[in-house]
Homo-oligomer: A and B are copies of this chain.
């Protein structure tokens, strides 16, 4: 048996689907892949069955979708690859988060109990659930008033996407349900609990989404009681204070879970982690000085470093958060992919759609082609990419987008290119902030969704950052990353790896084509970037607070309209 090849399974739980891969532990080749589209996806309007309506900004998921994903994908991996279950040496999972699930003591989601299923708060609140914004704002204020040291690690601002705003919302809006919940568990830990019967709390989600740090642990009880005296002991009552490092074995596959997946029980299951963080080692980023740039609806920038520096405007900074022994920094650009889509949907004349149809290419491809035919600065446009505010480095959701330089000759492809460029100027701003704060960046590796396949965008990225841009050669980097952590959890003795660095080195691959800056474009982009910086600082640092004033005015009008 030992001569046979070894495999691990990685399962990535996203917004609308779960993606599973079977990975050859020797060379990283994906032997089989299977995707399961959730029947419920992200639920924003009505609860399933009961039809209870959800308020604005709600976003929940169905726990059964998660379990069904296990049942549907893994057996497919096995049948397609036709390998022996004995060859599976580990299972790893990653999850979008913070997704918070209130459960009974045995891990049963309250959403699945008749008693609670009509209460929206019983359901797993998906990370994009932003109804707790007011709680997030108050938490930021409490933390600032108390001079909490953790606040700096999160760019000075707590997001509604994180763990404790959702917990506080649950307590405040449905206290009987808060009391009924024996456990408040992160989805990335809940799924591991289902696989192993063991409740763990992974370092990645605790560090990036729940204020935990290796040196300081969770905030003090006095912090939680400042929210509400009843929440003082939330960690000890509803969570686990003990944190599981990444790449560790959380437990072994139970009989039940093995049956779901047609696997053998006893297989090591790795500690859970967050989806974008799992993508990092899969994108060959596991050493200090490397940045993984994950391009999706948002852009995420993960940087590894030996040392701890305070970098302004981060989304999080977590020791051991991705690779044990290294500090992981996360920065973000909010809505970057979204505003390209906004442009395509809202600002393209019909003749462009006809042209795309005639050429039998997508409108995205047509626009990339047209925009790529332009030279930098040929449009005379420069933009600020703040359609959804600015996360890093300004941490200001009240900022908005700007385009400057319109003339009667301005063409749609020129605007599109200006939006791409502005986004990458925002990336350079983050990049420079890391470097200026003491964190070196020697290499940038790109992975992610549609934007990661946009050659023009990657070209601009190379010329604006003046770095060679490498691209991960795997369409499912998160699932591949989960499989890598599984190989580490399995350990060398079973044919896996001792460290995630080693696994990353052996199992990740880059595309042969990288993007190299050219001297001419570099120079032009330096000039355009200086224009971006002037506008960035003028509007971003409050020299002219027009964006905030306009937003205030707008919010007032919309509120009045709704109340009328």
Give the interface of A toward B (CB within 8 A): 335, 338-339, 342, 345-350, 353, 375, 377-382, 386-388, 400-408, 410-412, 415, 524, 527-528, 531, 534-535, 538-539, 544, 546-547, 549-551, 553-554, 557-558, 561
Instruction: Choose among A349, A406, A407, A557 the residue with the greatest number of B CB atoms under 10 Å from its CB.
Output: A406
Given contacts A349-B348, A403-B403, A558-B378, is CB(A553)–CB(B535) below 8 Å? no
CA distance A419 to B381 in the complex (A): 17
CB distance A349 to B342 under 8 Å? Answer: no
CA distance A387 to B350 in the complex (A): 22
Q: Out of B345, B400, B407, B557, name the residue touching A406 (CB < 8 Å).
A: B400
CB distance A553 to B377 under 8 Å? Answer: yes
A9 to chain B, nearest CB (A): 36
CB distance A412 to B347 under 8 Å? Answer: yes
A347 to chain B, nearest CB (A): 5
Contacts of A338 in B (CB 8 A): 408
CB distance B401 to A547 under 8 Å? Answer: no
Q: Out of B347, B411, B528, B550, name the residue touching A531 (CB < 8 Å).
A: B550
CB distance A535 to B524 under 8 Å? Answer: no
Contacts of A554 in B (CB 8 A): 377-380
A548 to chain B, nearest CB (A): 10
CB distance B557 to A531 under 8 Å? Answer: no
CB distance A387 to B405 under 8 Å? Answer: no
Contacts of A405 in B (CB 8 A): 400-402, 546-547, 550-551
Contacts of A550 in B (CB 8 A): 377, 380-382, 404-405, 528, 531
CB distance B546 to A382 under 8 Å? Answer: yes
CB distance A342 to B410 under 8 Å? Answer: yes
CB distance A400 to B380 under 8 Å? Answer: yes
CA distance A401 to B544 in the complex (A): 18
Contacts of A388 in B (CB 8 A): 407-408
Contacts of A531 in B (CB 8 A): 546, 549-550
CB distance B546 to A377 under 8 Å? Answer: no
Instruction: Choose among A387, A404, A527 the residue with the greatest number of B CB atoms under 10 Å from its CB.
Output: A404
Beyond the given pairs A335-B408, A534-B544, 12 more chain A to chain B contacts, judged by CB atoms under 8 angstroms and listed by A's residue number, are A349-B350, A375-B557, A375-B561, A377-B553, A378-B561, A380-B550, A400-B406, A401-B404, A402-B403, A402-B405, A527-B553, A528-B553
CA distance A557 to B408 in the complex (A): 18
Which residue of the partner chain B has the closest CB to A352? Answer: B350
Q: Out of B335, B411, B553, B558, name the residue touching A346 (CB < 8 Å).
A: B411
A344 to chain B, nearest CB (A): 9
Given contacts A377-B554, A408-B387, A554-B380, is CB(A402)–CB(B401) below 8 Å? no
- Would you mind naming 13 contact pairs between A and B with Cβ atoms under 8 Å apart? A335-B408, A339-B406, A346-B412, A347-B347, A347-B349, A348-B349, A380-B551, A380-B554, A386-B406, A388-B408, A401-B406, A403-B406, A535-B544
